[in-house]
Structure 1
Amino acid sequence: MDILEKARTYGIFIAVIFINNFQLMDMNILRPLGYHKESDFEEPIKIAKRLSAEFALTAAERDYLGGTPKLERDEIRRSGLLAMMIPKEYGGLGANWVQTMQVIREIAKADSSIAHVFGFQHLMLATARLFSKPDQWERWYEQTAQFNWFWGNALNPLDERSIAKSFSNWFEFSGQKSFCSGAIDSEMLIVSAKNQTDGKLLIAAIPTARTGITVLEDWDNIGQRQTDSGSINFEKVRIEQHEILAEPGPLSTPFSCLRPLIAQLILTNIYLGIAEGAFEDARKYTLEEARPWHTSTATTSKQDPYILNHYGEFWVGIESTRTIADLAAAKLDNAWHIGTNLSEAERGEVAISISVAKVLATKTGFEITNKMFEVMGSRSTHAGLRLDRHWRNLRTHTLHDPLDYKIKELGEWALNKSYPTPTFYS
């Protein structure tokens, strides 16, 4: 059974189980928790579609140039979408996770780098919400919505080069962090360091412009070229006690352990968006430029049976992954709504659903970004088109954490009914 057949099978199987677990016999599970009318969500998705169309016009050129997409980041600032998942009482749009993920996916169709930093905006806000006290995250939410702050990431728990020294009521961070996506041109950062005293991970929310912080422009990878995922130097950076996310702290409760699942689902929707964008680029090229092979009986490429077979397989993969990704987001919404009363088992169910979605998105994405050239022909490899960026973006991003280990976790569940152990990657 190849991957697309598996996607079809798994898509139907998991959807049925998922709905049964919620004791629902229809698609009400996808009804937004934060919005009461469909029209409430029309404006954000309309904005996302407009931005996606604009970003697509320059995506290939900007992929070549790399660097910071400053103009595009400012467009997102002006759009109001940076406060999308912030509740309305704090000045945000009050979107749920289903809606937020769909907007991330829409942007990723055009530009997965911008979708990455936009998605991590909501991951950083969720980090503050899950790891800190209400009087901390509520203030950050209000200020983000009011001033259109962009949040960057400098957490990376696997990079232990940053050390925290403890003083009477403050800390001092020194060292370096890598893979700091979106740090350039951000107003706030989520940062971490290893406590010199007890070796525990300390996480804080601080302004990017604070004295002692140097954001390095050293990101030059084959894909995701405008995520600014380079390094940051911390030189005796003062961190106040009220900036430390300590109550309840990182991964300390089932509810706070939703943080890595949100990260995984953001990546899932970026991968799916890449696949959808690659599909649309291939479709346009096939219809407008491609020629049938000289031994084909078809007069046009759109009539060629082998090309049609590929597109049928592409569509099965995309539709299956969309279904599973949206169902996983709905399950995340349910867990988010339960809040601090969330149980380990309920958290585990969300983890399994998101892992399935991520595996499908990864494999469907590679199927399309690789085989898209078979439906376009040799001329589509012209360097100026940069259609290989879809594969390069997916290849770069999917190494974030190995797919083999994600599948192993699913195997532990399928065979032994053991939920994934919460870490920053599971």
Structure 2
Amino acid sequence: MQGEVAHASNGQAPPAPGGALEVADDLARAFAATAVERDKRGGTPKEERDRLRRSGLLSLSVPASLGGWGAPWSVVLEAVRRIARADSAVAHVFGFHHLMLATLRLFGSADQASRLQAATVSERWFWGNALNPLDTRARLVRRGDGLAVRGAKSFCSGASDSDMLIVSALDDATSKLVVAAIPTRRPGIRVLDDWDNMGQRQTDSGTVELDDVEVRADELLTTPGPLGSPFASLRPCLAQLVLVNVYLGLAEGAFEEARRYTSTRRRPWIAAKGTPATEDPYVLLRYGDLWLALEGARLLADRAGAAFQAAWEQGDRLSPEQRGGCAIAVAAAKVATSRSGLDITNGMFEVMGASATAASAGMDRFWRNLRTHTLHDPVDYKSRELGAYALNGAIPEPSFYS
């Protein structure tokens, strides 16, 4: 299988970025074969995460000069989308892995980013998330001549089976948010198996407990630190874009499942007087509406990805106004993919019929996964930001969610 080929840690040059999408497609086909059963089981998708490690796609966003693929964000996000068509949970942790790698570049120094990204390639590290600014239980404290983190973090997607974590805490001395990159297996870190939500069941988005965990000075990302510059404040835009592409991939996967089901298993309705389901005017009407919603969401998602890439390429030259334009494009895509995705994952049952609700089919996983994930932050606030921009020309103020 092409997606199983390791390339990054054996001294060979990585393939061209475009080849990453073929690898992502291979992985998606493999993940699809077990998606329904694994959704029911929950827990850590260990085999699937190891396939990602062997595929080399964990180094997709790492610059070629450091041994990675050097792919633009459009390719990284498209890979997330293609995997999400088959398995949105694995796509979620894969996308967040690349968000953590970007955090090194956005919040840390050039030396920190280069050193840790190169190690990610050579060691095939999988990064997990323990950066949840709304959960303020974790504190950075002075312990003798050193530093330690005490407390806990919730919604730690991908922390299980990770090699490295991005962790946030409030500094006891300054009450400011600090962010660090630390090994998951460091003494004092305990990743709990307590994620029990109705959707995204294999994202391991539960709790990480931190019991006097050592934090070294060179592990703190302080140059420029969290949201410390217009460029650093691109992190929430990328976080939102990862979600946009997970949502869109979910909707695309649901649409394709529905189309196959209608074409092969949907029986004509009695009032249609013998008309095949594929020619039933009401079924066609529904498909037209679903396709139109999906097409609009795709266009907005792609436009937002292009806006982010342009902002990323500005680096430290990025202005607040340029960052604001990117944030508006991302907000529009977030609203569109949330709404259209929920419409599609609900409306798909109307074009498949009652038999599609059988538990064995697992069709409900699309709606459950999307409904769980779209509550990540209230989309109404994104619509309000778009209204403020449309009416008053106001751009969003940078935060961890806008």
Normalising by structure 2, we get a TM-score of 0.95
Letter in 2 for 1:421: E
Q: Which has the higher contact order (CA 8 A, sep 6+)?
A: 1
Task: Give, in angstroms, the shift of residue 147 of structure 1.
Answer: 1.3
SS of the aligned residue for 2:282 comes to: helix
Distance 1:40 1:396, change over 3 A: same
Between the aligned partners of 1:192 and 1:301, the Cα distance in structure 2 is 53
Between the aligned partners of 1:274 and 1:141, the Cα distance in structure 2 is 29
Distance 1:168 1:409, change over 3 A: farther
Between the aligned partners of 1:257 and 1:139, the Cα distance in structure 2 is 22
Does the 8 Å CA contact 2:43/2:201 hold for their aligned counterparts? yes
Task: Give, in angstroms, the shift of residue 49 of structure 1.
Answer: 0.5
Does the 8 Å CA contact 2:17/2:60 hold for their aligned counterparts? no
Letter in 2 for 1:243: E
Distance 1:298 1:263, change over 3 A: farther
Structure 2: segments with no counterpart, 5+ residues: 1-14
Matching of residues 237-276 of structure 1 within 5 Å: 237-276=213-252
Paired position in structure 2 for 1:59: 35
Residue among 390, 397, 402 paired with 2:378: 402
Does the 8 Å CA contact 2:182/2:219 hold for their aligned counterparts? yes
Does the 8 Å CA contact 2:169/2:178 hold for their aligned counterparts? yes
Paired position in structure 1 for 2:11: none
Paired position in structure 2 for 1:378: 354
Letter in 1 for 2:26: R
Matching of residues 108-257 of structure 1 within 5 Å: 108-166=84-142, 170-257=146-233
Letter in 2 for 1:302: T
Greater than 2 Å deviation, 4+ residue runs = 39-42, 166-170
Does the 8 Å CA contact 2:193/2:206 hold for their aligned counterparts? yes
Task: Give, in angstroms, the shift of residue 197 of structure 1.
Answer: 1.1
Matching of residues 80-99 of structure 1 within 5 Å: 80-99=56-75
Does the 8 Å CA contact 1:297/1:304 hold for their aligned counterparts? no
Task: Give, in angstroms, the shift of residue 385 of structure 1.
Answer: 1.0
Distance 1:168 1:249, change over 3 A: farther
Between the aligned partners of 1:194 and 1:40, the Cα distance in structure 2 is 41
Residue among 304, 323, 345 paired with 1:369: 345
Between the aligned partners of 1:123 and 1:168, the Cα distance in structure 2 is 33
2:322 aligned with 1:346, yes or no?
yes
Task: Give, in angstroms, the shift of residue 42 of structure 1.
Answer: 3.5
2:57 aligned with 1:74, yes or no?
no
Between the aligned partners of 1:92 and 1:317, the Cα distance in structure 2 is 36
Percentage of pairs with the same residue: 53
Task: Give, in angstroms, the shift of residue 299 of structure 1.
Answer: 2.8
Once the two structures are superposed, residues 176-230 of structure 1 have per-residue CA deviations (whole angstroms, 9 ceiling, x without a partner) of 1000000000000000111111110110000000000000000010000000000
Question: What CA RMSD, in Å, does the superposition of the two structures yield over aligned residues?
Answer: 1.1
Normalising by structure 1, we get a TM-score of 0.90
Structure 1: segments with no counterpart, 5+ residues: 1-38
Distance 1:298 1:416, change over 3 A: farther
Letter in 2 for 1:350: C
Does the 8 Å CA contact 1:169/1:240 hold for their aligned counterparts? no
Task: Give, in angstroms, the shift of residue 298 of structure 1.
Answer: 4.7
Task: Give, in angstroms, the shift of residue 170 of structure 1.
Answer: 3.2
Letter in 1 for 2:60: M
Does the 8 Å CA contact 2:17/2:70 hold for their aligned counterparts? no
Task: Give, in angstroms, the shift of residue 267 of structure 1.
Answer: 0.3
